[in-house]
A and B are shown apart, each in its own frame.
Chain A
């Protein structure tokens, strides 16, 4: 088991490395050169040329990637903070330290100052959504799959399929139309500030609902399918024909096996939620990681994009690793 975890950990590092290089490739390879993006549209061409030279932007992509990685790991100083450039980019942590994601050209601040607050806000949003998704989808999925073909099953399945057919922005629009415009019960934006007249908890209801409803429908369908499949297994028949009470058949024999497959899916929803917040945060003007990533991408803020995707990828690969390990613990046949 320890060997397995070490191996998976190494694989995860490699995945992160390759993926971050791909992001680097896409963002730095893009039309419009990096120096121009850094300085903004109104900079003089001579300034751009100077920066271009200073940053060695005509070096091959791989060399520049290694240099970026050097800055991140603290092996190298961030060239943008060089006072000679007169960019006035300053980081109170210094220009050379481990975890230096560089300087955000969009927010005119070190990435580390921009990133973490927003990530915290997003973690709150995604955490609340996750706390709704898991019990809701498990309950509905198990109840529906337990007796496949019954009215309850049909109702749950129909609701789930409708929920998964509504994109988040559409659900956002619909919920806003109903609860904000029509019923006037909730705020239409969620800046997480107390001065808007709405308490903070009311600002969270709609964003959490948008995230949770779409995803709960999806997870419920997976759980339902797994439960229905397990209920048709010979060992469930064995349990019934042993004369066990229905409760025991469900709780002891069916449920555990039925949850092995969805377990992975449920953990992967963390990965999905990271993407899901992009849209939701835009709809509700929520000051989070997703909207920051969107803005950074639209602006071309290379350092911030790199940092954000690296974090997203880290969360994604870590949950993947966690789900693989959990799977091994849940399923005796996968254990060695």
Chain B
């Protein structure tokens, strides 16, 4: 018998526009000790489902139909007292944002201790001991000191460990995980996922893991379900799902992710057209109907499609699953090979950005060197605190360097803010920002910044001319001309980023700085925006500086890569060279932490210990020395590492000789 059995569940919300079925009909079984992952993009109803299981619906929510059987009890019809005993006791949750999930005015100890006190009637002393024990289990050093601290005194990764500890305190039978690593750096994410795997063995807890990230799910789960528009559309063992995805939506999700080893020249990303319908707006027969390339009238839109067993425990909700081609038809590789010119568009030499903080100095950028070739994509990767965004701002002129030279178009722009740049220089260096919700002024229609840019850059003047050019820009980013009168809030995240791209290209830039332009978008939308950006970049021969933390994406689109850590360049070179030995030890750890959405690929396990040092107090020698798994000895702590030149402009800053670095085993390996 299943531990958790959801049967024909319907979840509704009353809104000002009437009752909306966020989850029209949902069934699922999870066994004791099982690890089940539920994947889907935002708006698919994952979080709603988790909160329904916990009976936490808000005043306007309800479950008019169906059952949630947990250990034989129907949670959908449980009394408040019954729910209270189960919440935090038999079922616990780990939340997406640990920073907001913890009470800011209570100490960690107080927040942990109340769990055993409420559920097992433990005394203060027993509760304290239990809290200390579980903090040890989540590998937080010095539990006693952690218990005395307030949440804001811990780092993001530490807070998430506390939340996990809090969930495990009452030894629950089921642990619900709501995107627990979203927002964490990739190396921190890797250690949290390791921890979950370890604790699952130790406590025997069943996991119900929801995420939009297939790679993360693949690391933790035995069985994976795919959710779309409030329904489960596919349910299969993890390896089976990745090897033989059956539902067109699952296939679409996988195709929109860069495959390990593939790049933009060999395997272009394939996006899913359209967007996730808002709750209750999806067709009744098949929710995916309107976005599906295989939809057939009369078959797909007739009656609601049932879950079909395709064998080997692989369930799929598609009327045409047997008719679909065995392999996703790979789009023809249309892109030409990269232009190989040696025309340097941007050359940064010893760029530093130092912020004075009281009497101390914050080294955001410390003597950065990099160059971008005309028409190439230069990716700058690093985790938060690496200084990559500061560098992007210096490039764009939104900040100025405190040292070094930045040669663009024959001028040194290192300390020239955008205000003092010539109109030509400003038009030539443009930027696309990270946050689609902040990039457009909510008070003006989306065509307005485009028209404004055209006028300010002297590209067009006169009403008719500007109108024509705005239409052309919208067409370039594949948006209908009518959209220019819409307000930003009427656009989806992907559409907003398209407008931002159009705006950046209004002045025909030589150099485009893109700071994490797709990190806030859903995967299927991400692929579309990336394809668009690369197409325009290639057509116009623009040089792209792409700031990102996503190594999978960087491998896919970059020609050259710069790896940054704590304000300095650790490694730089052609993309292929970065992803093969010799690696800088930091690059190696970074690659190892990437959650690969493919169980057939084995990843070497390297985990970084400790926290990233404060940029106010950087290590004297190698910046990475305090966390380096391959640290040689005191030389790393005291002496800055030498620059070591490999072939093709591949540079590594490390005390370890290249020959030794070349001998390490590659991070990725096929399991076959």
Please report A residues at the B interface, Cβ cutoff 8 Å. 149, 233-235, 237-245, 248, 252-253, 256-257, 260, 330-333
Contacts and interface: CB of A to CB of B under 8 A. Distances in A.
A235 B104 contact: yes
Nearest to A148: B59
Contact of A235 (B54, B103, B152): B103
B102 interface: yes
Interface in B117-172: 118-119, 150, 152, 163, 166, 170
A252 B89 CA distance: 19
B106 interface: yes
Contacts of A333: 104, 150, 152
B114 interface: yes
Nearest to A232: B58
Interface string B85-99: 111110011010100
B104 A257 contact: yes
Nearest to B166: A242
Closest 7 CB pairs of A and B: A243-B88, A242-B88, A243-B87, A234-B100, A235-B103, A332-B150, A238-B101
B54 A241 contact: yes
A235 B151 CA distance: 11
B103 A332 contact: no
Interface in B72-90: 84-89
B105 interface: yes
Given A149-B59, A234-B95, A241 B88 contact: yes
A240 B56 CA distance: 9
A243 B119 CA distance: 8
30 contacts: A149-B59, A235-B100, A235-B103, A235-B104, A237-B101, A238-B101, A238-B102, A238-B166, A241-B54, A241-B56, A241-B88, A241-B92, A241-B93, A242-B87, A242-B88, A242-B115, A243-B86, A243-B88, A243-B118, A248-B114, A252-B106, A253-B103, A256-B105, A256-B106, A257-B105, A260-B105, A330-B105, A332-B104, A333-B104, A333-B152
A164 to B, nearest CB: 26
Contacts of A238: 93, 95, 101-103, 163, 166
Nearest to B114: A244
Contact of B103 (A241, A243, A257): A257
B118 A331 contact: no
Contacts of B115: 242-243
A252 B118 CA distance: 13
A4 to B, nearest CB: 15
Nearest to B50: A241
B669 to A, nearest CB: 40
Nearest to B119: A243
Nearest to A260: B105
Contact of A244 (B97, B100, B118, B163): B118
Contacts of A243: 84-89, 115, 118-119, 170
A239 B93 CA distance: 11
A251 to B, nearest CB: 12
A331 B104 CA distance: 8
B169 to A, nearest CB: 9
B248 to A, nearest CB: 35
B177 to A, nearest CB: 13
A331 B100 contact: no
A44 to B, nearest CB: 66
B87 A240 contact: yes
A149 B118 CA distance: 29
A240 B95 CA distance: 13
A330 B97 CA distance: 24
Contact of A253 (B106, B118, B170): B106
B54 A332 contact: no
Contacts of A330: 105
Nearest to A147: B59
Contacts of B152: 332-333
B84 to A, nearest CB: 5
Nearest to A330: B105
Contacts of B87: 240-243
A248 B56 CA distance: 17
A241 B163 CA distance: 12
B100 A233 contact: yes
A245 B84 contact: yes
A177 to B, nearest CB: 41
B150 A235 contact: no
Contacts of B100: 233-235
A117 to B, nearest CB: 44
B101 A235 contact: yes
Contacts of B119: 243
B467 to A, nearest CB: 45
Nearest to A240: B56
Nearest to A234: B100
B93 A331 contact: no
A242 B113 CA distance: 11
A244 B104 CA distance: 17
A234 B101 contact: yes
Nearest to B99: A234
Contacts of B166: 238, 242
Contacts of B88: 241-244
Contacts of B93: 238, 241
Contacts of A257: 103-105
Given A241-B87, A331-B105, 6 more contacts: A234-B95, A234-B101, A237-B101, A239-B103, A241-B54, A252-B114
B192 to A, nearest CB: 18
B103 A237 contact: no
Contacts of B97: 234
A65 B59 CA distance: 62
Given A241-B88, A243-B85, A243-B118, A235 B56 contact: no
A336 to B, nearest CB: 12
Interface centre among A235, A241, A256, A333 (most CB of B within 10 A): A241
A232 to B, nearest CB: 9
Contact of A332 (B92, B95, B105, B114): B105
B84 A237 contact: no
Nearest to B97: A234
A248 B101 contact: no
Interface centre among B59, B86, B102, B114 (most CB of A within 10 A): B114
A238 B84 CA distance: 12
A241 B118 CA distance: 12
Contacts of B56: 237, 240-241
Contacts of B92: 241-242
Contacts of A260: 105
A252 B105 CA distance: 10
A237 B88 CA distance: 11
A255 to B, nearest CB: 10
Nearest to A335: B150
A202 B386 CA distance: 71
Contacts of A256: 105-106
Contacts of A253: 103, 106
A235 B102 contact: yes
B447 to A, nearest CB: 36
Nearest to A253: B103
A252 to B, nearest CB: 7
A260 B92 CA distance: 29
A6 B518 CA distance: 49
B280 to A, nearest CB: 22
Nearest to A332: B150
Contacts of B106: 252-253, 256
Nearest to B167: A242
A330 B118 CA distance: 26
A256 to B, nearest CB: 5
A242 B114 contact: yes
Nearest to B54: A241
Nearest to A233: B100
Of the listed residues A149, A331, A332, the one surrounded by the most CB atoms of chain B closer than 10 A to its CB is A332
Contacts of B102: 235, 238
A248 B118 contact: yes
A245 B88 CA distance: 11
B550 to A, nearest CB: 26
A137 to B, nearest CB: 21
